[in-house]
Structure 1
């Protein structure tokens, strides 16, 4: 039994990273290894403005991916947000540019992401540190174009 479990684990580990690409999934890869999060997408002004406001709890490997039309300076705040969040500010190629950990629920202090941000991934507060996610790690999601560091490969059979 141990051998078959190990074989299964090896097969999973051997799968190409791009095989996990889906609209509701973000994969992060770095020195820590890799982790996947089930995400909701906020890609218009109304969805981005609401974000995770009024959410009372979020499953461990869940989050919200904020998608902008182009790279730009962005700033967030925690108005009406009930849970602490980590914010990963991401370049158009998927590289993590900045991480703000444990944003305080309800705090109105602006949290700047810096210039050149096209995506922001919000996950539960403390997750980035717990997993070892750091600046320079790379995100993979279909919203990143073909120039992304870890671009999604299109299914040629579909």
Structure 2
């Protein structure tokens, strides 16, 4: 009976760990802060070019994760984007390397993210500061599992 109980606990724990790392969720760890964001993944050129354009309201713990085929220099802009956004520019390991706070709706000024960007997480403007997110924070998501992830699934 004891072995059955241990097996059930292990099975449940494995299921919980797996549920925490899903394509629909990005988990951010920054010091003792751990946050979950429900995300849409933009991993094709068409999805990335559309992004969050024309979105009128983004739920607080939601966002969009832009994923590139390989790390590269990226720039973003806010053309046709109706809400302010924070942009977290992330390297191949899932580590935040740059944060652009409160990008201005409709602004066509280029926002540079750096030279080795693999992914960009866009969340509601002001949340990065509200949650004290900093460069060096780690993201957990399946897209970072193909390489040496800082916080693997």
Q: Same fold (TM over 0.5)?
A: yes
Unaligned runs of 5+ in 1: 1-15, 153-158
C-alpha distance in 2 between matches for 1:119 and 1:32: 23
Within 5 A, what are the aligned runs for 1:1-158?
Answer: 19-144=19-144, 145-152=146-153
Give how far 1:86 is off: 0.1
Question: Aligned equivalents of 1:24 and 1:83: distance in 2?
Answer: 21
Q: Is the CA contact (8 Å cut-off) linking 2:37 and 2:61 kept in structure 1?
A: yes
Q: CA deviation at 1:19?
A: 5.0
Mind listing any 5+ residue stretches in structure 2 that lack a counterpart?
A: 1-15
**1:18, 1:147 → 2: CA distance?**
18
- Secondary structure at 1:93's aligned position in 2? coil
Kindly state the Cα deviation for residue 32 of structure 1 after the two structures are TM-superposed.
Answer: 4.6
Using structure 1 for the length normalisation, give the TM-score. Answer: 0.84
CA 1:17–1:74 in structure 2 vs 1: closer, same or farther (change >3 Å)?
farther
Structure 2 Cα separation of the partners of residues 17 and 92 of structure 1? 22
Instruction: Report how far residue 17 of structure 1 moved.
Output: 6.4
Contact 2:92 2:147 in 1 (8 A): no
- Runs of 4 or more, structure 1, over 4 Å off, are 16-19
**Corresponding residue for 2:6?**
none
CA separation of 1:131/1:46 partners in 2, compared to 1, >3 Å: closer, same or farther? same
Give 1:33 deviation, angstroms. 1.1
Q: CA RMSD in A?
A: 1.5
**C-alpha distance in 2, partners of 1:107/1:32?**
34
Shift of 1:104: 0.1
**TM-score using structure 2 length:** 0.87
Q: Distance in 1 between matches of 2:104 and 2:140?
A: 27
* Distance in 1 separating the partners of 2:18 and 2:115: 28
Deviation at 1:31, TM superposition (A): 1.7
Pairs aligned (count): 138
